Structure 1
Amino acid sequence: MRTYTLGEFARLTGKATSTLQRWDRTGVLTAHRTVTNRRYYTHDQYLSVMGLPPEPETTRGKRTVIYTRVSSPGRRGDLDNQERFLRQWANARGLIVDEVWSDIGSGMNFKRKNFNRIMYSDDLEHVIIAHKDRLTRFGYDWFEHYLNRRGVTVTVVNNEQLSPQEELAQDLVSIIHVFSGRIHGLRRYAKEVREDESLPHGTRPDPSAG
């Protein structure tokens, strides 16, 4: 469903932003909130304010969304930078953005809420991202192919400034940590097997091979 920022909604409805803010506080018209706590409104809310009937489900069509991601809460402000840049990019090309979906988490974490919305939504048509690693740190081509097979177009604007290098360093450190832990676990397991007197002769690992 199409969404609007506070300023866009004020212009469309002819209401002052201060009025909309007051309505939000008093519960007259409750705004939705982005990950960065910014107000936004849905197209259904616009129709309600204007006294227009809701659109039938069959006329709503599929959505175009902007997807933004940062690796940690400390970089939350970068979500706004990504959204601002991508909205400008879309507006310059006449693209209507229905929603902005954001995640805070590593590009190697495939349990991100909105990442999974992208993977499994049936009413999605177009996803716009600033850089490949905003969607996933590794394996981007596979995910793009999967989405294309589902009829979803992914547009990568390729703004390197919105892809912080320190995030890559953090992800590489995480990979090293995971594999170091696994190697340590395997060595400990091999040591326990070698020292297990209950095992038949010849089944224990050769210490010289470890």
Structure 2
Amino acid sequence: MRNYKPKDFAELLGVSVKRLQRWDREGILKANRAPTDRRYYTYDQYLQFKGIHTEEDERQVVLYARVSTRNQKDDLQNQTAFLRQYCNAKGMIVGQCIEEYGSGLNYNRPKWNRLLDDVMEQKVKTIVITHKDRFIRFGYEWFEKFCMKFHTTIIVVNNESLSPQEELVQDIISILHVFSCRLYGLRKYKKQIERDEEIAEELQDGN
């Protein structure tokens, strides 16, 4: 389970670091201490502070696996099999397994969006993924905090072999293509403005 620095934990609770320090001194919410004497907090402390009893939590554990194209069907099945093995080893009962085709840059993936809806509706206890980029290519930390606001934990198993490198190359190419088109559009727009200015000057000279 993830640990949090005081600053990150304060942000998660929506309070100031000073208040968190005061709660630590007063015994309201005691910080843990690392061997280096640094303070840290756990997600279980967050749930306890919010009054959420995990032993009574009947929400689903959801596996989420994603690849970019249907040509990667074997990769998708490998992700799913690995996640199931992980949950079995941890004694976690899987309620739902989501497999999806789509780019990690695409925020309009239907199944991914339905999963986020279920998170907001308090239906999901835990989301298990093989790697951060299987969930979203960029901005994972924001979505992790979003899920935590609804008391949903994301477990990242961090299996690099199940995060295809060719997808990263494809996504980078897609980003470069978008910016290239925008730059081309700006150049074209600039030329049009210069041409219009030239025509305007000619008309003025003609008058």
TM-score, normalised relative to structure 2: 0.65
TM alignment of 1:72-151, pairs within 5 A: 72-121=69-118, 122=121, 123-151=123-151
| Counterpart position of 1:185 | 185
Segments of 5+ residues of structure 1 without an aligned counterpart are 1-58, 202-210
Higher helix share: 2
Shift of 1:80: 1.0
Shift of 1:125: 1.4
Partners of 2:86 and 2:174 in 1: CA distance: 33
TM-score, normalised relative to structure 1: 0.65
Partners of 2:180 and 2:62 in 1: CA distance: 38
Shift of 1:119: 1.6
- Report if aligned partners of 2:57, 2:125 keep a CA contact under 8 Å in 1: no
1:95-148 deviations in Å (ceiling 9; x for gaps): 000010111011000111121122221111110000000001111101111111
Shift of 1:198: 8.9
Letter in 2 for 1:106: S
Partners of 1:161 and 1:73 in 2: CA distance: 18
Partners of 1:60 and 1:153 in 2: CA distance: 12
**Identity of counterpart residues, as a percentage?**
46
Q: Per the alignment, in what secondary structure is the counterpart of residue 81 of structure 1? A: helix
Correspondence 1:165 to 2:165? yes
Segments of 5+ residues of structure 2 without an aligned counterpart are 1-55, 202-207
Q: Per the alignment, in what secondary structure is the counterpart of residue 196 of structure 1? A: helix
Partners of 1:125 and 1:100 in 2: CA distance: 14
Letter in 2 for 1:61: E
Q: Per the alignment, in what secondary structure is the counterpart of residue 195 of structure 1? A: helix
CA RMSD, 1 decimal = 1.9
Moved over 4 A (4+): 197-201
Letter in 1 for 2:92: L
* Alignment: residue pair count: 143
| Counterpart position of 2:153 | 153
